[in-house]
Amino acid sequence: MSGPRILLLLLAQLALTMVLAPLLAGVINKVKALFAGRTGPPVLQLYRDLAKLMGKGQVLSRSTTGVFLAGPAVAVATALVAALMVPMGAASAPVAFAGDLIVFVYLFALSRFFTVLAALDTGSPFEGMGAAREVTFAVLAEPALFLGLAALARFSGATSLGPMLTRAGHGWVGGLASGPLALILAAWVIVFLVENSRIPFDDPNTHLELTMVHEVMILDHSGPGLAMALYGASLKLWVLGALVVRLCLPLRGTWWIDWPAFVAAMLALAAAVGVVESIMARLKLRRISQALIAALVSAGFGFLLLLLQV
């Protein structure tokens, strides 16, 4: 791709992510309201909340240091950089190079590092609890993600997210790859739900239940800090969602079909998450590790099956 086209793609992808990311939460909540027979909050509610919170002042705990504010800032910054590295409506991402998938995953590890420290900075037992859970689940979630990526690297012969996912998107029809790809998709969906703290693994809507992970870590943030924490979470939902969507979306190669198809698939993913949240209860804490081990095994089998075929 030529320089100006990359720049155009970069700006398009950045704008799309920044503008549409909070929409996913609205779609999820609307679907849940429909299932429950309620009217529910407007689809654009999160945008309003963010605008309101950004205009407010904040209450800072006397226990905290500069790390506390770094938590949400790192979460937004890393998610924005990651948004430039995952392919969306085009075959390749604007920032792409051999091995970019490793950087992509480690950006989220960086975000986790600071979110956890920000939680511990308050000295609150609740936030310590959430932080302990967050680092525990990551130990299983990261290898599941990586095993899937390793399988795709083997399948596509590439080490950059763009060609890997594009090849996978075309691999579903006319070949024996659909089985292993389905296993990887299953693994990634679990990782996607865990990493984004969705039901059945975590409940983003309650605030004082003891089985929570992400919401409990940002308990002490207020005003702009809370806005950034929420915005960072919705960016993460969008970016990891893009990874899942592109795994099973065959591209046509014409931009006016691919981009709308991508956005539609993202909204469909949000609706699916809403359906899952409506029909399932939250799992016991112990079951989360078991589900993640299932994801790990599923990705591992996907890898082995692809080995036999390629």
| Region binding another protein by CB under 8 A among candidate stretches 128-136, 172-180, 193-201, 263-271 | 128-136
CB 144 within 8 A of CB 292: yes
What whole-number distance in Å separates Cα of residue 237 and Cα of residue 56? 25
| Region binding another protein by CB under 8 A among candidate stretches 19-27, 31-39, 153-161, 187-195 | 153-161
Q: Does 308 bind another protein (CB under 8 A)?
A: no
Q: Does 73 bind another protein (CB under 8 A)?
A: yes
Least distance (Å) between residue 291 CB and another protein: 15
Q: Does 281 bind another protein (CB under 8 A)?
A: no
Q: Does 161 bind another protein (CB under 8 A)?
A: no
Contact residue for another protein among 112, 198, 246, 282 (CB under 8 A): 112
CB 270 within 8 A of CB 32: no
Task: Report 133-152 residues binding another protein (CB under 8 A).
Answer: 133, 135-136, 138-139, 141-143, 145-147, 150
Question: What tokens does 22 get?
Answer: 């909070």
Q: Among positive and negative, which fits the CA dihedral 266, 272, 276, 279?
A: positive
Contact residue for another protein among 33, 81, 263, 276 (CB under 8 A): 81
CB 146 within 8 A of CB 275: no
Least distance (Å) between residue 154 CB and another protein: 5
What whole-number distance in Å separates Cα of residue 35 and Cα of residue 49? 23
Q: Smaller CB distance to another protein: residue 262 or 303?
A: 303
| Region binding another protein by CB under 8 A among candidate stretches 98-106, 175-183, 189-197, 275-283 | 98-106
Q: Smaller CB distance to another protein: residue 150 or 233?
A: 150
What whole-number distance in Å separates Cα of residue 18 and Cα of residue 81? 11
Q: Smaller CB distance to another protein: residue 141 or 245?
A: 141
What whole-number distance in Å separates Cα of residue 276 and Cα of residue 53? 29
Q: Does 61 bind another protein (CB under 8 A)?
A: yes
Q: Does 13 bind another protein (CB under 8 A)?
A: no
Q: Where are the alpha helices (DSSP H) in 86-177?
A: 100-121, 125-156, 161-170
Question: What tokens does 73 get?
Answer: 């800032």
Least distance (Å) between residue 96 CB and another protein: 9
Query: Where do we find the tokens 């969705």?
Result: 198
Question: What tokens does 28 get?
Answer: 């999820």
Q: Does 278 bind another protein (CB under 8 A)?
A: no
Question: Which value, in Å, is the radius of gyration of the alpha carbons in the chain?
Answer: 19
The reply to whether omega before 72 is within 30° of 0 (cis) is no
Q: Smaller CB distance to another protein: residue 279 or 290?
A: 290
Contact residue for another protein among 3, 4, 37, 62 (CB under 8 A): 62
Q: Does 126 bind another protein (CB under 8 A)?
A: yes
The reply to whether omega before 250 is within 30° of 0 (cis) is no
